[in-house]
Amino acid sequence: MKGWAERNGGNITINITEWIDEQMRELPAISERIAIGKTLPHLKDCWLYCKGTQKRMRDLARDPMGNGSVIRITPDCAHYEIVADAPVAPTSELPSHLAVHDYLLAKNSPYRASLHTHPIELVALTHSKKRMEKDAATHMLWSMIPETKAFCPRGLGMVPYMLPSSVELADATISAIEDDYDVVMWEKHGVFAVDTDIMSAFDQVDVLNKAALIYISARNMGFEPDGMTDSQMKELTDVFNLPK
């Protein structure tokens, strides 16, 4: 509805291991073992739901198993196999998602969902070298409306352009998350967000993109928006006990 998932753009991956019972663990794979491209030790025997490659986000809710699949990571931590209704191949950006989930488990994070999508106004900001500088976009977005800092207190990490689906992009995304960001921009591509569940990840992107839209709307009216002052944003941080 927001225009963030044109055609087959964007994907989600959710760690569902906690819901897998013994009966499900006995199910046979319906695919051969497929190499991930790297070894992810903390994902050993984990199960994940993934949107399928060439599938549309808009179709997931009405037919989750026709447009996505459940995969399990093999004991060698370097392959996965599909255990689902149909052999729907996972998103082509699966290495990035799995590497992030491996990192989250390693640090005992409660986050179990990752979202990649193409929010129009946020992607537009990444075409500016100025906005790609560390925390330049974060400061501007926080200043547009108080809710942005309140609901996205860790800001927006920035990753320079890298080939989509590459291991290098996965590693750069993890580095940004290690810097304490929950939402990371892929330059000229899209956004990657992690949270406890998929709707919480979506909410962070939604709030950040709303701030970008406010900024662009002001510029379209012919002026540079003043934004909230540093002291006003500090007051928000102190009163609502937000991460500093």
Which CATH number fits the domain that encloses residue 243? 3.40.225.10
From the list 18, 22, 26, 93, the catalytic residue is 93
Task: Say whether 235 is catalytic.
Answer: no
Query: Are 78 and 148 in the same domain?
Result: no
Q: Is residue 58 part of a domain?
A: yes
Residues spanned by the domain of 38: 11-91
How many other CB atoms are there within 10 angstroms of residue 170's CB atom? 25
Query: Are 22 and 114 in the same domain?
Result: no
Cα(30)–Cα(36) distance, rounded to whole angstroms?
17
Q: Is residue 6 part of a domain?
A: no
Q: What tokens does 19 get?
A: 């819901």
Query: Are 46 and 132 in the same domain?
Result: no
Q: Is residue 24 part of a domain?
A: yes
Query: Are 242 and 124 in the same domain?
Result: yes
* Residue 38 parent element (H or E): none
The residue out of 91, 122, 148 marking a domain boundary is 91
Q: Is residue 207 part of a domain?
A: yes
Cross-sheet strand order for the sheet of 79-82: 34-35, 79-82, 68-73, 47-51, 11-15, 113-117, 190-195, 183-186, 156-159
Residue 193 has a pLDDT of 97
The residue out of 25, 60, 91 marking a domain boundary is 91
Query: Are 81 and 135 in the same domain?
Result: no
Residues of the chain scoring pLDDT < 50: none
The residue out of 91, 119, 137 marking a domain boundary is 91
Query: Are 28 and 135 in the same domain?
Result: no
Residue 177 has a pLDDT of 94
Query: Are 63 and 116 in the same domain?
Result: no
In single-letter form, the type of residue at position 170 comes to A
Residue 95 has a pLDDT of 87
* Residue 125 and residue 199 in contact, taking contact as beta carbons nearer than 8 Å: no
Q: Pick from 115, 92, 130, 104: which is nearest to 43 by CA?
A: 104
Query: Are 151 and 60 in the same domain?
Result: no
Q: Domain count of the chain?
A: 2
Q: Is residue 103 part of a domain?
A: no
pTM score, two decimals? 0.93
* Residue 67 and residue 52 in contact, taking contact as beta carbons nearer than 8 Å: yes
Residue 195 has a pLDDT of 97
Q: Is residue 102 part of a domain?
A: no
How many other CB atoms are there within 10 angstroms of residue 117's CB atom? 23
Query: Are 145 and 24 in the same domain?
Result: no
Query: Are 86 and 120 in the same domain?
Result: no
Q: What tokens does 161 get?
A: 């352009």
Query: Are 238 and 163 in the same domain?
Result: yes
pLDDT in tens, 219-239: 999 999 999 999 999 999 999
